Amino acid sequence: MIEVEVKMKVNNFNSSKKELKKLNPQQEPTEYQEDIYFERDDIGFAKNDKALRIRKTTKKDESAVFVTYKGPKLDKLSKTREEIELGVEDSDKLKTIFERLGFYENGKVSKEREIYKVEKYVVSFDNIENLGTFIEIETTLEDNSDFKPEVDNILNLFKKLGVEGSPITTSYLELLEEKNKIQ
């Protein structure tokens, strides 16, 4: 599965949410997500633009855990990449398995995510702990043969939301690491 994703930093969500309402979105329950990223020195996920994470998601009275592999980005404008995700029952046991295989925790990202669907696009309003507010828009494809038109469609959707600027192609984890180096 290929995830086509574009992310932009915003100062607040108010005007974008107002514009989004004009598109008659379907609102999903707000999620609280904790992402724990893993690394192994001999694999070098960060150096190879890949990621392995455990995501704990809570919404309403439900919670779920997923393990996700993300491949390298396929272009410089978006975060389009292969994504393989699988639901798991127990994050602690999975973390122990990773540790037994030589992986170590490389970082953590906590966020509150408001999710809307507009046609085949998922629009997420993300409030990242210790980082700020961002909007991500994504869709999925079976393969990467024709993802560039989807990137253009996502950028047009950002314009409809009144968000302009340069897409951010670094992950939230990388942005947090950069911020912590500066402080």
Nearest Cα neighbor of 7 from 181, 160, 126, 137 is 137
Residue 138 has pLDDT above 70, yes or no: yes
Higher-confidence residue of 146 and 115: namely 115
Residue ranges in the chain assigned as alpha helix (H):
14-21, 91-100, 148-160, 172-182
Residue 131 has pLDDT above 70, yes or no: yes
Catalytic residue among 32, 37, 116, 121: 37
What is the residue-wise DSSP string for 83-95? Answer: EEEEEES-HHHHH
pLDDT > 70: what percent of the chain?
A: 99
Domains of the chain: residue spans and CATH: 2-182 (2.40.320.10)
Look at residue 183 in the predicted model and tell me its pLDDT: 62
pLDDT band at 106 (very low <50, low <70, confident <90, very high): very high
37 is catalytic: yes
